[in-house]
Structure 1
Amino acid sequence: EIIIMATGSQGEPMAVLNRLATGSHHSLRIQDNDTVLLSSHTIPGNEEMTYS
């Protein structure tokens, strides 16, 4: 079992979480049976990027 704590909960295009979600990270991949838990506060003004 592995836990990866990633940055980028606000939808930033180059953040690790975004790259994991889109499959564009150079060395990590999220598999179908993986569990992803997102915990963050939305920064005012970033609602659209956070919820998309």
Structure 2
Amino acid sequence: MNILTPTQLKTIAAEKTLIARLVNINKTKRRRAAEDQAEAKRQAVIDGVQL
């Protein structure tokens, strides 16, 4: 059985936190991109009606 030192445990916790943040940032970017695309489509429809 491996026994981890407190420092190793802190490092693992920090790495997990960092990974979670990166995943959230990625999700946010993807959601914003999807929202921007949807807005562009709506605007294109509005512009099409105005033409």
Alignment TM class, shorter chain as reference: under 0.3
Relative CO higher for 1 or 2, CA cutoff 8 Å, sep ≥ 6?
1
TM-score by length of 1: 0.21
Which TM-score applies when normalising by structure 2?
0.22
Greater C-alpha radius of gyration: 2
